C-alpha cells in the first residue's frame, strides 16, 4: 500500500432524510451499507471523515437552469413528484444541496492538497439530472457541479468516468459541447434512460469528448476488466486530466435487482484501479468518487469497500483473467470506434 495517502469520506445524516417514496430502491440504508462495508473491511479508521457543506446557488447555476433550481427549492417541506421514479420529500432539497456541496468541497480539498482522494457517500444521486430536469432518482447532478467547479477554478481538463449501469444522460447533456470535460461512460444498452449509444460523441468543440461504451446484458468482471484496462484507462491517460471525477454506481453488480450485469467486488476493484491510473499525469493522483446507484445492500457494502481499498493504495485485487470472447470483441469494437479521436487506441 501507499503510505500516507489521504482519503476523505464525505457523509452526513441529512442524506438519510431524503425520501424517495415508500418501497423505493434508492433508500437511506444504502449509505449505511457503504459504512458497514468500510467497517467490515477494516478500513474506516484510515479515512478522514469530512462534513459536507451546502453547494451555493452560484455553484449549482453553473450546470442547472435558474427556473429548475427554483422548482427544486420549492419542494422544501413537502412531497413533490418530478416523474414516476423521482420524488422529493420534505428534506430532499437540503440533502440534494449538501450532496452537490460534498463533491464541490472534495474537489476543493484535493486541488488544495489537504486530501489526495475522496469518496462522497451521498444521496440523492446525480448523474441522470439534466440542466433543467430531475429524473432517474436524481435532483442535482453532483459530479457535474463538481466538474464545473474545477473548471471555474481554472482547470482545463477534467475527466469524468461513470461506471453506473445506467447511462449518465445528465452529465453527458451538460458537457456535450465542452472539450474541457471528457465524459466516459460504460452502461447497459438498450436500457434506462435510453441514451448512451456509441454514436453519441459530443458536438461542436466537444466532438470526441463524450465516449459511450454501451454493453449487452450479462457483462461481468472479464468484460469490464478488459474494457477499463484497454479502452477507458488509455483514453483517460491520453487526455491527461488535471482532476478525475468518478460516478460510482454499484448497480452493475451481479446481485443488483435493477439490472442484469454480472460484476463482482473483484471487478469493481479493477474498474477503480483503471480510473485511478488515469490520474498518473497532470492530476497527480487527484480523484473524487461520488456514489450514484447500487441497490443490493450487501453488494453496495462489499463493492464500495473494494473501491475504497484501491483508493487507499492497497495492493491490487487481481482479476482471474478468464478468457472471454465477448470481452475481446467489445474491446476490439470500441478501440476501432474511438480510434479516430483517440489515436492511442489504434496501436
Residues annotated catalytic, as ranges:
128
The nearest distance, CB 292 to Zn ion, in angstroms, is 6
Q: 14 or 138, CB closer to Zn ion? A: 138
The nearest distance, CB 306 to Zn ion, in angstroms, is 18
- Give buried/exposed letters for 275-299 (b at 16+ CB in 10 A, else e): bbbbbeeebeebbbbbbbbbbbbeb
Q: Residue 17: how many CA atoms within 13 Å on its side-chain side?
A: 15
The nearest distance, CB 249 to Zn ion, in angstroms, is 4
- Judge contact between 101 and 55, C-beta under 8 A: yes
26 binds Zn ion (CB under 5 A): no
126 binds Zn ion (CB under 5 A): no
- Judge contact between 135 and 83, C-beta under 8 A: yes
Per DSSP, the three-state class of 306 is helix
Interface map 156-175 toward Zn ion (x if CB under 5 A): --------x-x---------
Interface map 273-302 toward Zn ion (x if CB under 5 A): --------------------x---------
252 binds Zn ion (CB under 5 A): no
Sole binder of Zn ion in the list 8, 37, 214, 249 (CB under 5 A): 249
- Residue spans of alpha helices (H) in the chain: 29-40, 57-61, 66-73, 92-112, 142-152, 169-174, 221-227, 233-239, 265-277, 297-311, 325-338
37 binds Zn ion (CB under 5 A): no
- Cell representation of residue 70: 427554483
105 binds Zn ion (CB under 5 A): no
Q: 21 or 25, CB closer to Zn ion? A: 25
- Cell representation of residue 45: 479508521
Query: Rule CB under 5 A: which residues touch Zn ion?
Result: 164, 166, 249, 251, 293
Amino acid at each position: 500500500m501507499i503510505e500516507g495517502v489521504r482519503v476523505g469520506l464525505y457523509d452526513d445524516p441529512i442524506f438519510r432524510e431524503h425520501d424517495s417514496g415508500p418501497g423505493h430502491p434508492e433508500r437511506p440504508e444504502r449509505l449505511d451499507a457503504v459504512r458497514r462495508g468500510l467497517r467490515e473491511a477494516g478500513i474506516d479508521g484510515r479515512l478522514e471523515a469530512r462534513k459536507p457543506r451546502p453547494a451555493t446557488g452560484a455553484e449549482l447555476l453553473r450546470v442547472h437552469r435558474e427556473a429548475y433550481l427554483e422548482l427544486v427549492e420549492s419542494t422544501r417541506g413537502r412531497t413533490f413528484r418530478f416523474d414516476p421514479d423521482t420524488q422529493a420529500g420534505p428534506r430532499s432539497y437540503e440533502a440534494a444541496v449538501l450532496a452537490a456541496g460534498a463533491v464541490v468541497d472534495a474537489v476543493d480539498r484535493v486541488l488544495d492538497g489537504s486530501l489526495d482522494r475522496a469518496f462522497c457517500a451521498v444521496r440523492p444521486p446525480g448523474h441522470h439530472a439534466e440542466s433543467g430536469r430531475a429524473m432517474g432518482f436524481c435532483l442535482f447532478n453532483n459530479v457535474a457541479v463538481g466538474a464545473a467547479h474545477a473548471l471555474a477554478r481554472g482547470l482545463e481538463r477534467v475527466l469524468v468516468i461513470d461506471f453506473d449501469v445506467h447511462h449518465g444522460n445528465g452529465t453527458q447533456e451538460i458537457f456535450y459541447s465542452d472539450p474541457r470535460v471528457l465524459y466516459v461512460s460504460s452502461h447497459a444498452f438498450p436500457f434506462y434512460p435510453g441514451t448512451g449509444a456509441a454514436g453519441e460523441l459530443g458536438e461542436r468543440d466537444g466532438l470526441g469528448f463524450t465516449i459511450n461504451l454501451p454493453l449487452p446484458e450479462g457483462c461481468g468482471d472479464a468484460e469490464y476488466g478488459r474494457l477499463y484496462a484497454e479502452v477507458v484507462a488509455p483514453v483517460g491517460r491520453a487526455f491527461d486530466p488535471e482532476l478525475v471525477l468518478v460516478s460510482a454506481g454499484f448497480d452493475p453488480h451481479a446481485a443488483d435487482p435493477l439490472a442484469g450485469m454480472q460484476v463482482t467486488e473483484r471487478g469493481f476493484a479493477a474498474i477503480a484501479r483503471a480510473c485511478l491510473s488515469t490520474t498518473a499525469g497532470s492530476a497527480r493522483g487527484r480523484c473524487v468518487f461520488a456514489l450514484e446507484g447500487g441497490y443490493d445492500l450487501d453488494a453496495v457494502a462489499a463493492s464500495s469497500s473494494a473501491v475504497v481499498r484501491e483508493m487507499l493504495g492497497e495492493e491490487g485485487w487481481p482479476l482471474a483473467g478468464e478468457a472471454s470472447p465477448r470481452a475481446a470483441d467489445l474491446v476490439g469494437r470500441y478501440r476501432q470506434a474511438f480510434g479516430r479521436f483517440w489515436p492511442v487506441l489504434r496501436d
